[in-house]
């Protein structure tokens, strides 16, 4: 059996620790002095590193945009071909063989089309 002191110690170990207070921001005067205390070469190097990172990020974003546009173009071509195939199949189904001749078309009665209309209701 646990004593009350041991139980309290267990709960104290489980209890979340308070977060430390964030550091106070430096005054603008201190920041500017730190910035201007750097040698010019170090400031140029820091700016160049920053510019290289931005250029790399923009290059990657451009590559992704080009890849997405290429994929969308391929998909659009596939969709066009697929739709034309479906249209051709639908048009072919409207024709029927009657007495050795193909009959049918947009204005003719088609029992197949009627069945499909009735079936979809």
Q: Tokens 């890849």 belong to which residue?
A: 67
List pLDDT tens digits, range 40-59.
888 788 888 888 888 899 99
Instruction: Say how many domains are in the chain.
Output: 1
- Residue 47 included in any domain: yes
Question: Three-state SS for 98?
Answer: strand
pLDDT at 51: 84
Tokens of 48: 């160049």
- Residue 14 included in any domain: no
DSSP classification of residue 16 = P
pLDDT(106) > 70: no
- Residue 81 included in any domain: yes
- Residue 92 included in any domain: yes
pLDDT at 52: 86
pLDDT at 10: 79
pLDDT(86) > 80: yes
Range of the domain at 111: 25-116
CA distances from 68 to 51, 59, 60, 62, 110 (A): 26, 14, 12, 10, 44
């Amino acid at each position: 059996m646990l004593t009350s002191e041991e139980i309290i110690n267990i709960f104290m170990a489980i209890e979340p620790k308070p977060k430390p207070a964030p550091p106070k921001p430096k005054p603008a005067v201190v920041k500017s002095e730190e910035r201007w205390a750097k040698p010019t070469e170090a400031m140029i190097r820091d700016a160049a590193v920053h510019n290289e990172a931005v250029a790399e990020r923009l290059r990657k974003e451009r590559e992704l945009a080009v890849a997405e546009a290429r994929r969308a173009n391929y998909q659009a071509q596939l969709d066009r071909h697929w739709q034309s195939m479906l249209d051709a199949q639908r048009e072919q189904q409207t024709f029927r063989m009657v007495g050795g001749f193909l009959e049918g078309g947009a204005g003719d009665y088609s029992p197949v089309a009627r069945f499909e209309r009735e079936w979809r209701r």
